Every structure is written in C-alpha cells, then in structure tokens.
Amino acid sequence: MPPTPQPDLSAPTIVIGAGPHGLAVAALLRRSGVPAVILERSDRIGASWAQRYDHLRLHTTPGTSKLPGLPVPRKAGPWVSRDDYVRYLERYVTHHRLDVRVSTPVRRIVRAEPGSGAQWLVHTPEGLVRTGAVVVATGRCHTPNVPHWPGRSTFTGTLLHSAHYRSPAPYRGRDVLVAGAGNSGTEIAGALAGAGAERVRIAVRTPPNILPRSSARWHAVGRLTEALPLAWRDRTSLLTQRLAVPDLTSRGLPRPRTGLYTRNAREGVNPVLDHGFVDAVRSGRVEPVAAVQAFDGPDVILDDGTRLRPDTVIAATGYRPGLHDLVGSLGVLDQAGRPLAAGAQTHPEAARLYFAGYTNPLTGVLRQAGIEARAIAHALRRETARVPLPSPRVGDRTADTSHSGHAPS
C-alpha cells in the first residue's frame, strides 16, 4: 500500500518527486545521515511510470536499471515490465524506510529571507515549508509536448499524446497515424500493427538510429567510449547499424546520416531499440511517411504535401520538464526550460537547490539516477558539515493562493 500523506514535515532536506531519481537521492541522503522528506503530487510512488502504456518495458537490463542499495528482482526478467518496475519502486521505499508524503503537490519554491534560519520556502497546499535544501526530481519527461501544428484545433479525428495512450486494443480496425519515430513512437506503431489496427503509418522527421533490442551492449559501449572523439564514435555506431539493421530505404525509412552520439549530444535523443518495428516496416504493416506539417479538418497535411485522413493521430512528440511554475522566478532555467545546473552542481545564485533526472545519457537514465544521487548526497553531506542545515517547519497553515499553477512532482 502507498504511504498516506501526513501534515507535519521534519527534515532539513525536501525532495520533490517520488520517481527513481527522487527515491535514489532520498535513500543516499538517509544513508549519509541527512534526513529527507519526499513530496509527491500524485497518490502513489512512481506515478509517471504507472501511467505509461501497458506494454512498456525498460530498455536497460536489470543490472543497469537498479537504484542504489536494492537489486531488481530476477523474476522480473531481462526486460523489466512497467508494472514490475513500479512494484520495485514501491519496495525500494519500504526497504530504505523513506519518508514519502503522497498527494502533496509543490506549487513553487522561493528564496527565504536572509536570517530566517532557512534557505528555501516550499509552497504546498498545506502551508509553507521552510527548509535548508531542496532536490527537484520531477523528471525530464513531465509535461506532454504536442506541437502547435497549424489547424490542429480543426482536426475532426482523435488527437492524443502518447502519454495518454494505454494499449492498442481501442484502435483495432482503425486507421492510425503515429507522429514521431523515437522509442515510444516506434513501439506504439509496432503494437498497433500487431493488434489489428486497419492501417498504421508513422510520420518521421529525422530517420532514427535503430539498434537491435536483443542486447543492451550499446549502453556498455557508451560508457567505454566516452573519452573517444565524437566523430569516431559516430562512424562506429553507423557501421554497427548497417550491419545489424536491414536497409529500409525502399520502405520509406532511409538510413540516418547523423550518428547516435551526435544526436544525443545535440538533442538529448537516444537510439531506438527495435521491439519488432523493423519487421513491421519490412512487411508493410507500418508505413513510414513524411513529418506532420498541419491539420485541415479531417486531413493531416505532411511535409511533402501528402494529405492523409486517419481516424486517430497519436503524437509521440516528447515531453517538457515543466519547471517554470516551480522555479521559473529563480533564474535557474535555460530558454528551453531545462536546469542550468544539474546533479551535484548548483546555480551560483541558488545554493542548496539541486536538480536530478534532467539528462538523457546514452549510458542509461536509471543508471544515471544512482550517479546523480551519490553526487548530490556527497555534496549535501559536505555542505552540512560546513554549515548545518536548519530543520524545516510548516509555517502558515493556510494554503498559499498566490500562484494558480501546479508544479510537477
């Protein structure tokens, strides 16, 4: 059973978000003797994972998906399912005896007045929390991003983001266009084609770098080759793809020209791990088409001028961090809304405000959760030895109404 919210807060560090990064940070802080309270806006642990589509499986092996201090159970298999990973996160909370307050959204974080005995003020519906340090771990994939396609509001079919797609069953016998050829888009397209959708097309702007899912060795390669020149790594990755993945150019999906390392460095994009997508394209069950340009009533207009009339468009077009309401007034975000400093690094004007989970390394996001958690715990332990963290307290019990937005958690 998930923990129930409690009204009192009594720890010098507040962690916002009960996903993998927030839990890992809290566990290592506790081990370091720096108590932490986790505030989670939803009513359960790992809510963002629990809300993803039913057939989701991790792209990393259990050994690289574990959080510090607890292995993923062997019975979860080599590719851990969504539900098994959520159960693992719930067990992680119990194992490390973490203090998680669910149904406790954070509206915003502001600086405390000098001399007030606190570094930060955390606004929640229950009141104002004065605390010495804050770790924001609400996640890179927080707010669904649907492009502002011209005419989008005129579309007479169904348009939804992949965050709201659950299973292929409702689309049996339907004509579906998936917009976006990342991991989510290719997995959804393949599942739809295999579950009886009448027609499945996938709109591709940039040909993806595709690797077989049968091995997770590319994560290890990413770690081993980090010190090598980017151009060398790109050439090697493109050669690997040529040897491992059939040429789909005749099916409308040309080989990528940009290596996966450059794409990751420039765009934060990881390669697509093949879950049957390649075979679906080769057999014609999934049809690659040009990128979506606009909507016009029942029609979808593609970049090449083609007009389609699908029943449903699923936008697998990524997410935004959604941090503006939470920390936008602090000057700690770049123009794209991403933290200017992450992990153990803090912004010069925001001491003891940390961000965990806002990168997408080729070495694996869940592995990175442990790396960032260790670094943040070490930094806070060092800071605490220098200047003790004040204990937070709930101030005015009246809910703060000065800000109407809901911050991510």
pLDDT of residue 126: 85
pLDDT of residue 23: 98
DSSP for 97-136 reads T-EEE-S----EEEEPPTTSS-SEEEEETTEEEEESEEEE
- Checking if the pLDDT of 48 tops 70, the result is yes
Identify the structural domains of the chain with CATH numbers, from first to last.
13-142+321-394 (3.50.50.60), 150-317 (3.50.50.60)
- Checking if the pLDDT of 235 tops 70, the result is yes
- HSE value, Cβ hemisphere, 13 Å, CA-based, for 110: 11
Q: What digits encode the pLDDT tens for the residues 257-275?
A: 999 999 998 998 999 999 8
- φ/ψ of 390, rounded to 5, equals -75, 150
Which residues on adjacent β-strands are paired with residue 129? 122, 394
Q: What digits encode the pLDDT tens for the residues 202-215?
A: 999 999 999 987 65
Q: What digits encode the pLDDT tens for the residues 134-161?
A: 999 999 999 999 999 999 999 999 999 9
More confident residue, 403 or 4: 4
First to last CA, the chain: 19
pLDDT band at residue 403 using 50, 70 and 90 as cut-offs = very low
pLDDT of residue 400: 34
pLDDT of residue 25: 98
pLDDT of residue 377: 95
| Mean pLDDT across 375-389 | 81
pLDDT of residue 388: 63
pLDDT of residue 2: 45
- Least confident range from 111-125, 238-252, 376-390: namely 376-390
Q: What digits encode the pLDDT tens for the residues 181-194?
A: 999 999 999 999 99
Which tokens go with 304? 């090449």
- Checking if the pLDDT of 329 tops 60, the result is yes
| Mean pLDDT across 232-236 | 86
CA angle 312, 46, 9 (to 5 degrees): 135
